[in-house]
Amino acid sequence: MSDPTDRSEPVSDPTDRSDAPPGESWFILGVDLDGVCGDHTEAFRRVVSAERAIDPDTLVDQTTWNFHEWGLDDDGFLDMHRRAVLEHRMFRDMPVIEGCADALWRLSDAGVWIRLITHRLYANWGHAVAVGDTVAWLDASGIPYRDLCFLGNKPQVEAHAYVDDAPHNVAALRAEGNDVIVFDQPYNRSLDGPRARHWNDVEALVLELMVSRGVAVQSPFPGLDDARSRLDRATAPRRADGETVT
C-alpha cells in the first residue's frame, strides 16, 4: 500500500517493471473508488436521510457532482461529508458496485496491475479514519489491488489507462494524453466515451486496450480456482489443526 501521507513524489514510470514480479509484464490500470468501485451516492443518501430524519426515497436522483439537488451548497456538502466519514463511517460500510470485485480479479489474473486511486483525503480532517475504513472496506469487499494511492492529482500516478466517473478527473487525465474509461453516472453523461455502464464493460475495454498496445493477456492455469475463491480460502478462519472453519 502506498504511504498516504507521502505526496511529494509521483509514482514511477509504468513502463519500469523493477517492482513487478520477475519475468512478468503488467498493464497498470488506475481505478477510482467512489462511484466506480463503491456506490458513493447510495452511501451518502443514507447519511443525509439519517441526518435529516427523512425517508431516503424522498431524495431525488443525483445529477450534479456536489449533490446540489439535495439542497447542499459547497460548504454544506463538505460539512455533511465530514459527518458521513467520521460519525457514520461511510467509507467502511459503502455498498460495492455490482461485479466490481470479480471483474478486477479476472483482470488481475490476465496481467493487469491494479492501482487504486482516491481523493478521500481532500479535507484536513479524519485521515486516520478515512484510510483505516477504506482498507477495511477493500478487505471485506474482496477487491484486489497492488497499490492504494490517496491523492488528488491523478495524472501523477502514470498508469497505462484509468477508470473514473468524475468529469473533472476525466478531463484532466485526457488533457495529459491518457486513455480513460468513463464509468457511467448521471453527472458525467456529457463526456465522450469509451464508457462503461457495468463492470463487464470495463473488463472488455481494458482487455481491448491491452491487445491494442501489444500487451500479452495472460490466461489462468487450467484447473486453477478463480482468484476470488483462492483469496476467500486463504483468508478463511482456521482451527488449531489447520482445517478451514466452515
Please, are residues 33 and 120 in contact by the beta-carbon 8 Å criterion? Answer: yes
Confirm whether 74 is a catalytic residue: no
Q: What H or E segment, with its residue span, contains residue 128?
A: helix 127-141
Other Cβ atoms closer than 10 A to 113: 23
C-alpha cell at 136: 477495511
Read off the DSSP letter of residue 34: B
Confirm whether 55 is a catalytic residue: no
Catalytic residue among 3, 6, 34, 241: 34
Distance (Å, whole) CA 186 – CA 45: 15
β-pair type (195-196, 147-150)? unpaired
- Burial tier of 66 (Cβ tally within 10 Å: 0-12, 13-18, 19+): middle
Catalytic residue among 3, 32, 55, 74: 32
Q: Which residues are designated catalytic?
A: 32, 34
